Amino acid sequence: MPTGDAGLVVRPVRPSDFDDLRATYYRLYDERDAGEPIGITLFASRPSLEDEVAWYDRAYARFTAGDSIFLVADRNGRVVGNCVIDRAAPVAASESGHVGELGILVREEFRGQGVGSALLHRALEEARSKFEVVYLTVFSVNTRAQRLYERFGFTVCGHLPRAVKRGDRYFDE
């Protein structure tokens, strides 16, 4: 789906997107280590390539099975962000199979340029046929993301104090 940015296309993930997605995810560890309160929960240390391949295989399988929406933002042939809405339950037939959990990630140098908006717009459009409810969590210090989510109709449903512990620092969600 083309966006207002002529070089930006939001499209379904492809197997060939793995390297760009992994590189973007790995860069989050550099941001965190530089003291940035990035708004995504990470492991204590960067996962191995094998761990990332296993994650991608599982995520791609959920997408191809129809249990998730997995989109990427492609700018001139390079993946610069992604948005996933995973089914909250193991299968659609379960009592919470109508609920999706949203996660979004935009490469640092492309934040604030409409990439997240384009991803959210397309993901939520697709979610209408798959989920009745979509939720997410966001760090309380991530005000840019909170404003974005509010523009798309998300509302605060609760507050999780000290939900994430990063070293000796806590973050609320």
CATH of residue 113? 3.40.630.30
pLDDT of residue 40: 85
Nearest Cα residue to 157 out of 148, 146, 165, 166: 146
pLDDT of residue 1: 42
Name 106's bridge partners: 81
pLDDT of residue 166: 86
pLDDT of residue 18: 96
Query: What does the alpha-carbon distance between residue 101 and residue 134 come to, in Å, rounded to a whole number?
Result: 6
Residue 1: inside a domain, yes or no? no
Residue 94: inside a domain, yes or no? yes
Determine the structural domain holding residue 123 and report its residue range.
Answer: 8-171
Average pLDDT, the chain: 92
Residue 2: inside a domain, yes or no? no
Residue 43: inside a domain, yes or no? yes
pLDDT of residue 4: 55
The pLDDT profile of the chain, 173 residues, written as one tens digit per residue, is 445 566 899 999 999 999 999 999 999 999 989 988 788 889 999 999 999 999 999 999 999 999 999 999 999 999 999 999 999 888 888 899 999 999 999 999 999 999 999 999 999 999 999 999 999 999 998 888 999 999 999 999 999 999 988 888 898 99
Residue 3: inside a domain, yes or no? no
Residue 133: inside a domain, yes or no? yes
Residue 19: inside a domain, yes or no? yes
pLDDT of residue 38: 80
pTM (2 d.p.): 0.91
Residue 163: inside a domain, yes or no? yes
* Residues in CB range of 27: below 8 A, 6 or more apart: 107, 108
Nearest Cα residue to 127 out of 88, 171, 160, 170: 88
Looking at the 3D structure of the chain, how many domains does it have? 1
Tell me the residue length of the chain.
173
Residue ranges of alpha helices (H) inside the chain are 18-33, 49-64, 115-127, 143-151
